[in-house]
Amino acid sequence: MSMLERMNKARLAILASGRGTNAVRLIEASKEGFFPAEVAAVISDVKDAPVLAKAKELGVEALHLEPGPKKTYLVPEVEKEWVRVLKEYRVDYILLAGFMRVLKRAFFESFANRIINIHPSLLPSFRGLDAQSQALDFGVKVSGATVHFVDDSLDSGPIIMQEPVEVREDDTVHTLSKRILEAEHRIYPEAVKLLVEGRLEIKGRKVKILKEEHGR
């Protein structure tokens, strides 16, 4: 890769708390040249999260940052430290991949409309934790995966892309989760490609996907 190509690539940070299967898929997609961006860092709020070891194995810098005293969000002073680190890595876009904390003001002031997330349901249905279990308990016939922009409410930002997944009569949380995860691995790289190519336009609650010639 030439120096010019490196300079023109967007820089991504992945925030994750757990296994990191979506993080791995995004790193692989970046290395395959699926989208014009490189993963500059993987950051976790969990010191021994498997995602950190997986990122290092793939040659991506991985680090743990202290999450502070709260279990579900970063308090303002901690959030400002996270943002400072992200700016040190010259991050253009933030991708949440199983990051189990709600982001607050400092992130949106610095990365407005540049943070996206993957969620294992067809939003706005089944927000929050255990979305697959919620779907089974409710008895829906179709669930799925959603990529959306992140705002200051839980799983409520404008929707970029969705893929439906049939809920079978004999499904368990495990079997349904597995098929939804396969859908996540398909649509998340697609959504990141649109994002870094400048082909997403937010109009109120709607996200318009621009034709390729209108992108950056």
Burial tier of 37 (Cβ tally within 10 Å: 0-12, 13-18, 19+):
buried
- Report residue 214 CA to chain centroid gap: 24
Comparing C-alpha atoms, which of 160, 182, 183 is closest to residue 114? 160
The whole-angstrom separation of Cα 36 and Cα 10 is 6
Annotation says 64 is catalytic: no
Which pair of tokens denotes residue 187?
């649509």
CA angle 204, 209, 210 (to 5 degrees): 115
Catalytic residue among 119, 148, 185, 214: 119
Torsion of CA 135, 141, 146, 152, to 10 degrees: -40
The whole-angstrom separation of Cα 23 and Cα 19 is 9
Which pair of tokens denotes residue 96?
């949440």
Q: Is beta strand 159-166 parallel, antiparallel or unpaired with respect to 115-119?
A: unpaired
Comparing C-alpha atoms, which of 141, 134, 114 is closest to residue 202? 114
Q: Mutual orientation of helices 131-138 and 173-196 as an angle, nearest 10°?
A: 120
Question: What 3-state DSSP class applies to 79?
Answer: helix
The set of catalytic residues is 119
